[in-house]
Structure 1
Amino acid sequence: MVYIGIDLGTTYSCVSVIENGNPKAIHHDDGKNIVPSVVAFGAEILVGNPALDAPTDMSNILYDSKRLIGWEFLHSLPIAESRQLWTFKVDTRDKCAGYVLNKGTPNERFLRPEEVSAEILKYLKVRAEKYLTKKVTGVVVTVPALFQENQKAATKKAVEWAGLELKRLLHEPNAAAIAYNAKNNLGNSKLLVFDFGGGTLDVSILEMIGNNVGVKAVTGDIHLGGQDVDGRIMKHALTEFKKSSSYDIDQRPKLIKKLRTKCREAKEFLSNNIEETNIFMEINDEIDLKVPLTKSQLNKLCTDLFTKAIHQVDLALNTAQMKTEDINYVILVGGSTRIPRIRKLLTEKFGNDKIKLDLNPDEIVSHGAAIVANIIEV
């Protein structure tokens, strides 16, 4: 009997186990501890990096299941900007917003988002079993603190379809607090967890009393994340490209997919103390896309997104009836917290000493899930 902890993310997912008393994220074939939350449905089902370059129709390479899961109607999704750049087909059928494979062909098939999430969970289960050389039976899976009951129910269904026994759905901010406390022994303290991932933002104010976590406030936006930043960069790159070329990238899914990757890489470069980079993409023998992007331009493109994110911090403080000085630690969770402007805004609000950066923001949630899974297992 072995239980594991899984952070089922919008952009990336991570699985952790307890090894020698400490949580450890399991690495994948590329040596990284996180896997892209992407599934390709072709001659075989591929997950992660192999799915990104799968030899199948682009519209059958599916992602963003966490943004779709549990929604009854597409028109209810508050992510119109992201939908314009999706390379897969979506529809509403039987009160479920989901994917359409092979649209318009005799092999057309409707997929619920939880079916896609189940494939990611299956993959993570197999990776854990390979690493542990033991059969995995139980799992603690994390979800955003703002997930509604329909979204939680659909996530539970995904776990069931993955052949796992769900031991607990754990809120992501709580998982992060548990992981930080296990490493740093935060004592009796008040924490603000700023969880800015690929597709969601959770801001939670928690009170640690010993090893117990009490929730004082939860705010956020389940449709605000790093992918929205990527989308802004993509729109900027397309606008600049169209100033000098009439070549229509918008109608070519493979190029849109490639551009998404290039724009995400540009964001990551600018998050690593680099002031300027180029978004470069070969289109054909005669045409290239080359658009410069500075850190200042990125901040300007995403001013409203960053403002919305920090507004949730103020809302959480107001809900908890606290001031910034009442917070002992600010825990940064999710890859999008690496964006310099986000860190600067949080530092200006709380002061540098309160910002906790000593655990990997991509792995901390799965670490907390693994700690809870281990407690349940014992």
Structure 2
Amino acid sequence: MKPVFGIYVGNSNASVAVCKEDGKIEVISNELGERVTPAVVSIAVKEQLVGSVAKASMLSKSSSVITNNKLLLIKALYEEGKNKSKNPDVFIKDGVSHYKINLIGDADLINNAGKVNTLIYRKLLDIAKSAIHAKDKDTLNCVVVLPLGLEESDVQYILQSIVISGWNVLQTIREPNAPILAYNLLDSTNKSIPKTTENILVYRLGGVSSHATLLELLPGGMLSILESSYSNEGAYKLIDSFVSYLANEFYKKYKLDPQESPKSMVKLRQHAETCMHSLSNLCNTNIFIESLYEGVDFHLSVSRARIETILMNLMTTFMKPINEALKKTAMNESDIHKVILCGGPMKIPKLRACIKQQFKISEIIEGLPFDEIMAIGAAKQAWYLEKFSQINLKCTEITSDSKVLKIGTLLKIPVLKEVVVVVVTGYLEDEFEMELNSLIPQTVKIFLASSDKTQEVGKFNFEIFTKEKNTVLKKSLVKLETCLEFVKDFEYALCILFDE
């Protein structure tokens, strides 16, 4: 089996993971040895830079450096993205976000959010090809992580930009699903799969936003999304507060205000971010900035306790999505069985400790790097898909355009509305016609397949569902669970596919 990849591109950083034939997953480092690449693009006349090099160029040409591009790919978040995209100016043209970059030559072609996204994915493609020593003409397969709640037009716009970069996208999965996959919570060989229903909280704290999702894990490894809460407040609030603290310390010492110089503040922010990364592992560190303002150097010793003091003033803000999701579902902390934390800011020990304190009796699932979990989960899904594709069976996906499924068709049941379902492979005993979001109940034989064999494990009456008929879904999943009892030790007991 050829290598497959999982990709996550956020507003701040991007990462790519590879899964090879043995099923082991590895996050790939870029040419600088970084396992996470800044999702920053610098547009110049003759070249476009992506990553740390582009981020470093903010000091000299900030007007052509693009950050937080992910927000501007999503129509519903346009205003938020416009406010947080300090450079360059942003405007809408033909329903698409564009950047106003006053450059001559071919660079003016790279002016919309989709093309910027293409540059980021092309950078990740170069990293991936270098890691597996692929040829330039080789096409690599990947699974991409996208946010919840996207309109279909947003999804197609993003996918188009990825395909142009050179990737072959096998599938997209949503952000809350990726950590579930990364920790193998849906793998039938995982002994931790519950025999009773469990509630799982997936909380992502990113650079510019945060997201809490409550999911219900049903017996047998089935998953449904109960509630999701988004906040436009991210770790930038913590960095802003830390930068203000550093600027005040500089003013106290030299009676000079670096906030009067945009260039000085860019320099101060870059060093503040580096300092915070260091304090995730160290108790103390030093900041030294040459010629911060008016030719004056800045040196300061900073402790982790200082960051924690600033953090505590923001914990109410960071916990808001979690509390809102709990409130909407009428749950409290004691109802949550497992908690998964992800996002680079989760490296801060005090932040994790505060969340653990709130969920005292919940199991906190950790062990994977917080800023790599999304890519790892996507790579796991890509491995499932690649292995599944080697099975010599025709697979038909049910869509709103499907009319008739013939005897002998391998059935793949997609997600309808907001409910996530695992793949069910089976043969329909009779032909039937399908209308949008409505299927006649059928008896389905379940076949679970490996690379070298298939095995019938039972059958059940499956009723298709809509969001309004969620109880029908649960009844069907209980029937499916009885079938899965036959295959606990089967090599390929669950092929997990999330479809939107």
**TM-score when scaled to structure 1?**
0.85
Counterpart AA for 2:10: G
Residue aligning to 2:90 = 91
Change (3 A) 1:129 1:286: closer
Quote how far apart the aligned CAs of 1:247 are. 5.5
Residue aligning to 1:65 = 69
Change (3 A) 1:67 1:296: farther
Partner Cα separation in structure 1 for residue 286 and residue 361 of structure 2: 31
Quote how far apart the aligned CAs of 1:30 are. 2.1
Residue aligning to 1:102 = 102
Residue aligning to 1:231 = 240
State the identity as a percent.
24
How many residues of Structure 1 are paired with residues of Structure 2 in the alignment? 369
Residue aligning to 2:290 = 282
Residue aligning to 1:198 = 207
Q: What is the CA deviation profile of residues 222-247 of structure 1, one whole-angstrom value per residue up to 9, with x for unaligned ones? A: x2222332222223323443443346
Q: What is the CA deviation profile of residues 82-114 of structure 1, one whole-angstrom value per residue up to 9, with x for unaligned ones? A: 55xx4x2222132444422237x7988472222
What pairs up with 1:292-371 in 2 under 5 angstroms? 293-303=302-312, 305-351=314-360, 354-371=363-380
Q: 1:176 aligns with which of 174, 179, 183?
A: 179
Change (3 A) 1:373 1:219: same
- Larger relative contact order, structure 1 or 2 (CA cutoff 8 Å, min sep 6): 1
Quote how far apart the aligned CAs of 1:369 are. 0.5
Q: Does the 8 A contact of 1:144 with 1:202 survive in 2?
A: no
Quote how far apart the aligned CAs of 1:200 are. 2.5
Q: Secondary structure of 1:181's partner?
A: coil
What pairs up with 1:105-116 in 2 under 5 angstroms? 109=108, 111-116=111-116
Partner Cα separation in structure 1 for residue 237 and residue 175 of structure 2: 20
Partner Cα separation in structure 1 for residue 77 and residue 340 of structure 2: 34
Residue aligning to 1:22 = 24
Q: Does the 8 A contact of 1:220 with 1:309 survive in 2?
A: no
Q: Secondary structure of 2:30's partner?
A: coil
Quote how far apart the aligned CAs of 1:364 are. 1.4
Say if 2:28 is the partner of 1:35: no
Q: What is the CA deviation profile of residues 333-365 of structure 1, one whole-angstrom value per residue up to 9, with x for unaligned ones? A: 111112233212211111277222211112111
Q: Secondary structure of 1:231's partner?
A: helix
Partner Cα separation in structure 1 for residue 77 and residue 356 of structure 2: 39
Q: What is the CA deviation profile of residues 63-92 of structure 1, one whole-angstrom value per residue up to 9, with x for unaligned ones? A: 211233224896x22785x55xx4x22221
Say if 2:170 is the partner of 1:162: no
Partner Cα separation in structure 2 for residue 73 and residue 208 of structure 1: 30
Counterpart AA for 1:265: T
Quote how far apart the aligned CAs of 1:311 are. 2.3
Change (3 A) 1:248 1:337: closer
Say if 2:216 is the partner of 1:216: no
Q: 1:264 aligns with which of 270, 273, 296?
A: 273
Partner Cα separation in structure 2 for residue 14 and residue 78 of structure 1: 21
Quote how far apart the aligned CAs of 1:326 are. 2.5
Change (3 A) 1:303 1:282: same
| Larger displacement relative to structure 2 (36-45 or 233-242) | 233-242
Residue aligning to 1:7 = 8
Partner Cα separation in structure 2 for residue 354 and residue 79 of structure 1: 38
Partner Cα separation in structure 2 for residue 73 and residue 146 of structure 1: 11
Partner Cα separation in structure 2 for residue 291 and residue 128 of structure 1: 39
Counterpart AA for 1:196: L
**TM-score when scaled to structure 2?**
0.66
Counterpart AA for 2:148: A
Q: Does the 8 A contact of 2:311 with 2:351 survive in 1?
A: no
Q: What is the CA deviation profile of residues 281-333 of structure 1, one whole-angstrom value per residue up to 9, with x for unaligned ones? A: 11169402345544454344444542122122122223333332232221111
Residue aligning to 2:216 = 207
Q: Secondary structure of 1:207's partner?
A: strand
Q: What is the CA deviation profile of residues 34-60 of structure 1, one whole-angstrom value per residue up to 9, with x for unaligned ones? A: 111112222322221232345972322
Change (3 A) 1:309 1:154: farther
Q: Does the 8 A contact of 1:17 with 1:24 survive in 2?
A: yes
Say if 2:158 is the partner of 1:187: no
Q: Does the 8 A contact of 1:128 with 1:136 survive in 2?
A: no
Q: Does the 8 A contact of 2:282 with 2:304 survive in 1?
A: no
Counterpart AA for 1:124: L
Q: Secondary structure of 2:183's partner?
A: helix
Counterpart AA for 1:114: G
| Larger displacement relative to structure 2 (358-367 or 92-101) | 92-101
Partner Cα separation in structure 1 for residue 139 and residue 316 of structure 2: 42
Q: Secondary structure of 1:111's partner?
A: coil
Q: Does the 8 A contact of 1:8 with 1:14 survive in 2?
A: yes
Measured on the aligned residues, the alpha-carbon RMSD in Å equals 3.1
Change (3 A) 1:337 1:148: farther
Q: What is the CA deviation profile of residues 239-287 of structure 1, one whole-angstrom value per residue up to 9, with x for unaligned ones? A: 443443346554443x33322221112222332251x544431116940
| Larger displacement relative to structure 2 (179-188 or 134-143) | 179-188
> Any unmatched runs of 5+ in structure 2?
390-500
Partner Cα separation in structure 2 for residue 227 and residue 79 of structure 1: 15
Q: Does the 8 A contact of 1:18 with 1:24 survive in 2?
A: yes
Quote how far apart the aligned CAs of 1:199 are. 2.5
